[in-house]
Structure 1
Amino acid sequence: MASATAALRGGLPDRYLIPEDIAALFGVPLETVYQWRKKRTGPPGFRVGKHLRYDPSAVRIWAEQRMADDIAA
């Protein structure tokens, strides 16, 4: 039986994330998340109908790549 709280996987929830989750995770305004999507510079997202969702694994990979790029610079 699943617990009431979502299991964590690498510090991220074990569920698809919503734009508000991404904004809270990175400490940026929600509008920034939408601008990242529009400019294709943020974590990869996908649509479920009209709803935008993010795979936690893809977000983690995106963040790790940004950190690696920053260290290499």
Structure 2
Amino acid sequence: MTITAHTVSFHQCHDEELLSLSEVSEILKTPENTLRRWRQIGRGPRFFKIGRRLVTTVGDVRQFMREQRLAAQPVIPAPRRP
């Protein structure tokens, strides 16, 4: 069963709940075509197919968000200016 962002908050979902491409698009505020492209080039959340449906888990989306947040932080702090 897919929990939509409209019925239950993303933050309240269990990590194993399934999300469709359109639901992930809403959560990440990213066009579906961008998510499809990321999937083709090996970026973005991990998607898989159940039958003909393309899905991912809440946990995979959370992991992707954490990775993006960490990648945006510099590893070595910039030197302070006097």
TM-score normalised by L of structure 1: 0.78
- In 1, the alpha carbon distance for the partners of 2:59 and 2:68 equals 14
In structure 1, list runs of 5 or more residues that go unmatched: none
- In 2, the alpha carbon distance for the partners of 1:21 and 1:42 equals 14
Assess if the C-alpha contact under 8 Å between 1:12 and 1:56 holds in 2: no
Aligned length: 67
1:13 counterpart residue number: 13
Higher helix share goes to which structure? 1
> Which of structures 1 and 2 has the bigger CA Rg?
2
% identical aligned pairs: 19
How many Å apart are 1:69 and its aligned residue? 0.8
Task: Return closer, same or farther for 1:38/1:12 CA change in 2, 3 Å cut-off.
Answer: farther
In structure 2, list runs of 5 or more residues that go unmatched: 1-6, 76-82
1:69 counterpart residue number: 71
RMSD: 1.9
In the TM superposition, what are the counterparts of 1:32-43 in structure 2 within 5 Å? 32-43=34-45
